[in-house]
Structures are given as C-alpha cells and as structure tokens.
Amino acid sequence: MSEWLALAIAMAASVLVVVAVVVLRQRRVGEDDDPSETPDVIEYITMMIGVVYAIVLGLAIAGVWEARSAAQDEVLNEAQALHEVSARAEVYPADFRARVRGDVDAYVTFVVNTEWDHMRENGEISPRGTELLAKLRQDVASRAPQSDLEAQVYQPVMDRIAAADESRNTRGQSTGPTMPGVVWFGLIVGAVVTVGMVFALQIRRSPRELILAGTFSALIAFLLFLIWDFDDPFGRGVSVSTQPFLDLFPSLL
C-alpha cells in the first residue's frame, strides 16, 4: 500500500469516526437538549487546547523538516566533495588519474544504485560503501607527490575525501526515524483530546457542523501524516534524494 493511499484512508477514517460519533450521540440526546447552554469555561478550555496543540504540531513539523533539510545538505556536501576529488585528480598522470576517478565513480554508483535502498530497508549505511570510500582514501594517501603541483593538490584532495567521509557518517546517523516515541505519544494523545473536545461543545448533526468537524479531523490526520513522512529523511515518500550525485556525475546515469 502506498503512503498516499494510507493517508487518504486515515483521513477518511477520521472523518467517518467523527461523523458517526456525532450522529450516534445526537440520537441519544433528549428533545429538551439546548446546545446554547454550553458553559463558557468549556469553550475557553477547548480554545486553549487547540492553541497548545497547534504549537506542538508546528514545532514537530519544523523539527522534522529541519532534520530532512540538514540531511539533504549533507548529501549535497558529500557529492560536491567527491566531485572536487575527481576534478583535482587532473594533475596526476593518466594511469593514476583514471584510478582515482574510477574509485570515485565506483563509490558514487554504489551509493546511488545500491546503498540508498539498503538505507531504506535496514536503517543504516552499507559497510560496502565504507570500504569503497576507504579504498579511495588509501589510493590517494599511498602515492607520494611526484611534483610541486601534485604536492600542492595532495592535501586539498585528502581534505575533500575527509569531508565526504564526514558527510557520509552524518548521513548514516540521519537514517531512520528521528522523532522520539514519547513525542509521538504526545502528538497522538493530543490529537484525540483536541478532536474529542469538539463534542464538549455539543455539536449537532447539521450539515454545516458535520462538514466543519470532518474537515478539522482530516486536517489533524494530514498533519500527523506529514510529520510521520518527514520523520525518516531517507526512508519514506518525501525523502532525501540522490539528485546531487546525479547532477554532479551525469556520466554515471
């Protein structure tokens, strides 16, 4: 089942639950019930619960979006660092230049074609990718500079490899859900309480009130889905992509 289909089902289910509760509740209400008699304190409490929960939802969305953006930036930094290594290898002799660029291409190809799926399935980066990057580092580090130009390029190339390694490790730490379970507990309980407080206002089953209640519950379901989708930067629908690698290494497509 696709995530968007799951979202549609969750939103529809939330609307149906609210509408069903309102209809069943109204059938049990006596003829002398007067909705205008809702105490003012209930309206005040309902408003405050909605405001507090809106703040919590906003902070949660901002947090997962920031984590996703940071993960995307690290992917761009990793790809840019490897692109610099490949470009700076121009100063080396043809055989060693081909070796370095071959190491870079092998690593990028593995990351794009294999490791991304491995991260989604296992929640961690692949040991094979670590080996390929270590091979690139070893090949560059084991060759002594043969000229002044190579000596000037040696340290910048090593720095770029170190930067790629750092971004890779950060990518590994960002793999998997980032939202603590206790936060999810608060979000779900808060959603139940917030939607439940609608019934404290003695909502009736008029079309206007049912539409408003259903829309409100569907909005809550959508926002919770949005947080859940952003919570795993590499594993869900709106996930971090490999586009920076594809843009900087178009020959590997």
pLDDT of amino acid 194: 85
Token look-up 């439940």 returns: 196
3-state helix, strand, coil in the chain (%, to 5): 80, 0, 20
Distance CA 209, CA 23 (A): 11
Residue 180 has pLDDT above 80, yes or no: yes
Phi, psi for residue 143 in degrees, rounded to 5: -105, 120
The more confident residue out of 48 and 94 is 94
Global confidence as pTM = 0.77
Q: At 18, is the pLDDT very low, low, confident or very high (cuts 50, 70, 90)?
A: low
Give the residue from 168, 205, 199, 164 showing the smallest Cα distance to 80. Answer: 164
Distance CA 241, CA 71 (A): 10
Q: Is 18 left (phi over 0), alpha (psi -120 to 50) or beta?
A: alpha
Q: Is 84 left (phi over 0), alpha (psi -120 to 50) or beta?
A: alpha
pLDDT of amino acid 38: 55
Q: At 15, is the pLDDT very low, low, confident or very high (cuts 50, 70, 90)?
A: confident
Token pair of 32 as six digits: 């002398």
Token pair of 195 as six digits: 């939607």
Mean pLDDT for the stretch of residues 183-195: 88
Residue 31 has pLDDT above 60, yes or no: no
